[in-house]
Amino acid sequence: MVSERAAADPEGGSLPPRLVLASASPRRLALLAQIGLVPDEVRPTDLDEAPLKGELPRHHARRLARAKAEAAAGSGEGSFLLAADTVVAVGRRILPKAETAEEARRCLELLSGRAHRVFTGICLRTPAGRVRERLVETRVRFKRLSAPELAAYLASGEWRGKAGGYAIQGLAGAFVLGIVGSYGAVVGLPLYETACLLEGEGYPVRRAWAQGE
């Protein structure tokens, strides 16, 4: 998917560099929009996201973020390419992206009444081919879920395709007692770290702010 770009800057200046998001996640698109960034192209990847044998959650998140960036990169395209991956973990155990109600139930029963960690890796490839990475760790504590609460959430279907079987920005926000770290990272993209990476490599993050776009 490619966004519309003006043929020329209305003030006569140069166009900003292109930004490509290596994800079809509407949540990541919405988070970028929150800080005034609209990718010029969305380029999803199709990777095997199964953890490697003995792989720790933080390593898994970093590896997949980088793999997505590499898979989405075109040859000499001259764009900033941003990729991310979010992993929900209890101790060393990586929870799956729930695809069935039973899988979601097992995840939620494990998370109920305890704290867990969310690791989000981000990887930025610059037009010059440099690779910059960050890993953000966030601690989330769930209330103890009652049987009616669990049944109602499973019936909502919101868990489908979500890491750990829940979406903090949706109905499951009612389960969260506390969070230490980045809310955006739990949703799918840590905004502070993303903005820092882009700005550090010369991408004009705040360009649209002054123009009221």
Quick check: is 85 catalytic?
yes
Burial 88-117 (b: 16+ CB within 10 A, else e): bbbeeebbbbbeeeebbbebbebbeeeebb
Residue with tokens 């953000």: 136
**Catalytic one among 9, 46, 48, 85?**
85
Find out whether 125 and 180 touch, Cβ atoms under 8 Å.
no
| Residues catalogued as catalytic | 85
